[in-house]
Structure 1
């Protein structure tokens, strides 16, 4: 009887050891041979002390702040062709971001449209494309990897904006030149009279140069609607539903909302300060 109980205990120990080994093996990394672990701790909350802000005294004050000159919405149609590095069977996801590389305002309109300006905009759409590839095929079954490709689709546009508020510019003055009179100029003839007129030895100039605030552009919103067309796809006769392709033709409609701003001096009225800590 003692031998039977001992045999049962040994089997149970072996069974538990095998289970323990199998459970731990699920967490063992084949590269590092280390089981993963998580350690957490609770951080105490630190109480804050309200500090009243230091402000200027009440009364008129002059500040230089960005003033909105115009806000506009434009749509930019773009046609692009993208070539992938490997044949793809499906586009899984495309992440898009819009960046501007140039945005310049010509504030003067030359076609009798007062209160308007011309904006030149250049930029690109950064696209991160995730697609499925085909590495092996067994009949109608296909296996492969997920790859990614990042490209930049450039665009440029010129548009007219109407100002809510005119930009502030001061033009440079016309240079002024001053000449001095003299009657001391003599010729080579010692018997001739002195030459009367402008003194070529002295000149005086005056010029005034103004440094204006340059208008700038800020992006408010960007919407992108696109149509992707797979170019020259290939498929097999026994599985016509699966196609591979390397080129994508895109039709994009980029809708941008932007502001035109300029730093201008503005007069404000400061009110009496209140203590927000006692509110």
Structure 2
């Protein structure tokens, strides 16, 4: 049984929050650079040049790449042979988020109550924590700050099985195209198919954890990802909505078994600043 103290967890989460805001993952950066090199629209080229420059400046100056430093999503995979000591896991994550956003001078974006008291919490807590129990004696924490510009473009539709593949494709493409420039394209498109309504939405977030551009291991879904990316990029929305061929960097699909009478499909967009950092303890 491995013991991991909550203070260590909080310290690592603090570091991840600050790094995620300032240092774009290499897999995402590669897709952005490729988009900049292949863009044909003059306005699109201009936008992609600025995006590339912004990524470089943020990393070199350890400054946030976007003013919206997001609400923190924490994916936690906890080995069944791990024992958390000194307190509660979720409290430790929130302590790390609080310290990271305060000490890192990151914008605090959470409000205490969604309707009646939208007073700022002051430290960007609480995080949204998803915990999964897995084999082994490791604790894996992935921090994914999610900005509101892209999050507001999330879509869920409870399709009928009779809608079939064409119905799935039409909904996904329309969700991205109708979002226009609001989610700061080129986006990474997370798609969840199956389960029930809440499972499909979660799957669409989990899809954004994958290595950017890495295909679904199922050949049929990998082909669907490629087809959707081509259709989305034919739309002409382009970088930042200015027009061009790069509306999306990648489409990433996750699936789950579902009920015979339904076919849930969820879309979560991540802006080009697809921020995430991970640690294994």
Using structure 1 for the length normalisation, give the TM-score. Answer: 0.20
Higher Cα Rg: structure 1 or 2? 1
Name the one with the larger strand percent. 1
Using structure 2 for the length normalisation, give the TM-score. Answer: 0.20
